[in-house]
Amino acid sequence: MITDRNILIVGAKGKTGSRVEARLNRAGITTLGVSRSTEPAFDWTNSSNWADLLDGVDAAYLTYHPDLSVPQAEGHIRLFCETAEQARVQHVVLLSGRGEEGAAQAEKALRESGIAWNIVQASWFAQNFSENFMLDSVLNGELVVPAGTSSEPFIDIDDLADVVVAAFMEPGLHNRLFEVTGPRCLSFAECAEEIAAATNRPLRLTEVPMAHYVSALTAQGVPDYLVDLLQTLFADLFDGRNAHTAPGVREALGRNATDFSEYARKTAAAGAWNTVTSGAPA
């Protein structure tokens, strides 16, 4: 087990980055957490300070904003890896998404870099219902989703963070892709039932045409880039291609992934669905 590392966390204020950094710090590992709003800042569209940020860094965890599926992601990941290799960074862990053809090119850039790597391909986050764009719908008692979506094995991102940390700390896990999902596929209707049971409050599911869904997101004040991204992802990823589970959590951690019902219970107990909280990126 490796514990004497200095790890750069790109996206340290996001849902996964904050969890990964907290776990590493509890294990006694030094981290430098960066994002567009930190000082020093990290911006995927401005590489001018990347070499400085990577000076003295042993490893890095990468989350890409807004999503690895966008066309420019491949070039940015490739440039980061080139800069990291020049800085003698030894290991990079990249968060990716299942079934995203665009993301596959960014993953390839990391694998071809010559740096020890891990790719964590994740299903949709369970925490999207409690820390992101679906939170308001849950609080309002009506979960609105595009019509025709397939089931999904939602991943508890506490599991995802545990997998990332294991990849950093266990050299035997290096140079592997971990596809992480929850242990069963659920429809959005089933998710609503689980959340309703955990909160002891009704949660109605409403399926609407995509155009109506986009209008509702815009009315909620969701940023335009995220509206466009969600429209694309719902159309591409909820067509059934990802309606199956994968064993990445067990492969990395030797235990089963957390079930959605357990996520719902712990989230309700923590009070996340009692008051409005602000979402965070990945």
**pLDDT tens sequence across 221-247:** 888 888 888 888 887 778 899 999 999
pLDDT in tens, 66-96: 899 899 999 999 999 999 999 999 999 999 9
- DSSP state at residue 108: H
**Cβ neighbours for 124, distance < 8 A, ≥ 6 positions apart:** 152, 154, 155, 237
Does the structural domain 6-124+153-181+244-255 have CATH classification 3.40.50.720?
yes
Q: Quick one: which H or E segment has residue 101?
A: helix 101-111
What is the mean predicted confidence (pLDDT) over 130-152? 92
Cα 226 from Cα 67, distance rounded (Å): 10
| pLDDT for residue 230 | 84
| pLDDT for residue 213 | 87
Cα 231 from Cα 226, distance rounded (Å): 8
Cα 91 from Cα 165, distance rounded (Å): 12
Model confidence band, residue 217 (pLDDT cutoffs 50, 70, 90): confident
CB of 188 closer than 8 Å to CB of 224: no
Tokens representing 52 are 């400085």
pLDDT at 281 over 90: no
Q: What is the pTM of this model?
A: 0.93
pLDDT at 219 over 60: yes
